[in-house]
Structure 1
Amino acid sequence: MVFMKAALYLIPGKLGESSELESVIPANNLEIVKNIRHFIVESRKCAVRFLIEIDRDFPVDQCTFTELSEHTDEKADLKGILSWLEKGEPMGVLSDAGCPAVGDPGSRAVELAHKKNLEVIPLTGPNSMIMAVMASGFNGQNFAFNGYLPVKNGEREAKIRQLETRMYRENQTQLFIETPYRNEKMFETLLKTCRLETKLCIAAGITTESQFIKTKTVAKWKESPKPQIGKIPAIFLIYK
């Protein structure tokens, strides 16, 4: 029996459908999740799928799910979102993939928990950003995650040049992500915009059957076949 505190548990999920649950998430964490009935989730559908994968008999009908996503109004009143925790019941935060509250709206719930002096417990699990840094060969002591870059032409190129300049000046690895269907456009823009000597790592489908992780200079990428990353979640990293 796992001892449960009245705390906000931050529960990492899988990074892709083909990941084996037991291979990426510790068994003890799965036991903790089995004892939680109140969840703050990015989407209810993904959360239920994850819980059923943990235990096909998970009592979903006995659970509460409060959605907190990118579509949640920034001015929305979240005062009651931790009501179960304030009553002494453990609560969990679930992202659609990977670690909640990292590049994820769940951070708003965590911020509120600290304001209310409620305990927060992060659980171990896959994090695509950290794993990408690990596998890139780039500076792992000084790096920055920049989220999504601008979509508009011109603005995107300007942001890439800004990050590249910062990377050379501060010896800082720069990470960013893109919506999977725009990955190939991002790749083409990077080759067009970055210096030939700049190193580019593409880390896609981490922990899944379609995992692809390669680091090359921009010059070498231009000579190589285009990576097949059109529909796969990917992290892009640049370094000198």
Structure 2
Amino acid sequence: MQKPILYLIPNTLGAQSPIEILSPSTLKSIHSLTSFIAENAKTARAFLKEAGHPVHPSGMEIIELDKHHKNELEEVLELLAKKNNTGLISEAGMPCIADPGAEVVNLAIKQNFRIVPLSGPSSIFLALTASGLNGQQFIFHGYLPVQSAERKEKIKELDQELKKTGFTQIFIETPYRNDGMLQDILNAASLDIRLCIAASLMQDDETILTRKISAWKNETYEIGKRPCMFLLGK
């Protein structure tokens, strides 16, 4: 018996059309599906329309991830496995990385799905490749603590980890807290390490800057409420 397939569907990082960003093979796989799991049904429908999906939204099944508990998702996947293949749509970039879709994949593996990741943009790797920092060895930490005092302690830990291993330290923040994060980095990190700020990746206002902390402290810079990656390295 053929295994059901869960396709991991990447999204764009901003206002670009999926047709411009995603490969023909990725779009072909998306167009073959009518069942999807997503964080938000409305944005998923908009994405599928922009991706040129041939089926009218009324003919699609979109299950909202945040409206189902783990046990309900298990039941949903059981039903989907009996029907057809399914797509897991990210809100931005690749699914499952700093993304709740990871739990869906874990459950799908347990239910004997074949997992097929589709190619698309990843802000982590776009930032890393353009940073000039160590791309051989790196750690992605996701979100740091929200409170400033705890966040600065975590930044100091990453600073020490960087000095000990040489591994690039990568993390993200909710856009409205970007400038607070930047100030905490400048207050907590050593002057001789480098910070890369990669904001609005693949957008018209894209900014990728890598400088020593000492240089960052000599100027006033505002990231604003833009999607941003932070990277610390040597």
TM-score class, shorter-chain normalisation, is over 0.9
SS at match of 2:28: helix
String of CA shifts for 1:109-140, please: whole Å, max 9, x gaps: 11111112210000000000111111111111
- Conservation of the 8 A alpha-carbon contact between 1:8 and 1:85: no
CA separation in 1, counterparts of 2:139 and 2:65? 25
SS at match of 1:154: helix
Equivalent in the alignment of 2:177: 182
String of CA shifts for 1:20-79, please: whole Å, max 9, x gaps: 43332102211211121111101112111101111276411111111224x865x55421
> Please, what TM-score do these two structures have when normalized by structure 2?
0.93
Return the match for 1:156 from 120, 143, 151: 151
Equivalent in the alignment of 1:7: 5
Which runs of 5 or more residues in structure 2 are unaligned? none
SS at match of 1:155: helix
SS at match of 1:138: coil
The answer on 1:236 being equivalent to 2:230 is: yes
Q: What is the percentage of aligned positions where both structures have the same residue?
A: 39
1:1-240 to 2 correspondence within 5 Å? 6-17=4-15, 19-55=16-52, 58-69=55-66, 73=69, 76-227=71-222, 229-240=223-234
Which runs of 5 or more residues in structure 1 are unaligned? none
> Please, what TM-score do these two structures have when normalized by structure 1?
0.91
Moved over 4 A (4+): none
Q: Pairwise CA RMSD of aligned residues?
A: 1.8
Q: 1:192: Cα distance to partner? A: 1.2
Count of aligned pairs between the two proteins: 232
- Conservation of the 8 A alpha-carbon contact between 2:19 and 2:51: no
SS at match of 1:144: strand
Q: 1:88: Cα distance to partner? A: 4.6
- Conservation of the 8 A alpha-carbon contact between 2:30 and 2:53: no
Structure number having the greater helix percentage: 2
Q: For residues 56 and 112 of structure 1, do their structure 2 counterparts lie closer, same or farther at Cα, with a shift above 3 Å needed?
A: closer
CA separation in 2, counterparts of 1:148 and 1:76? 26
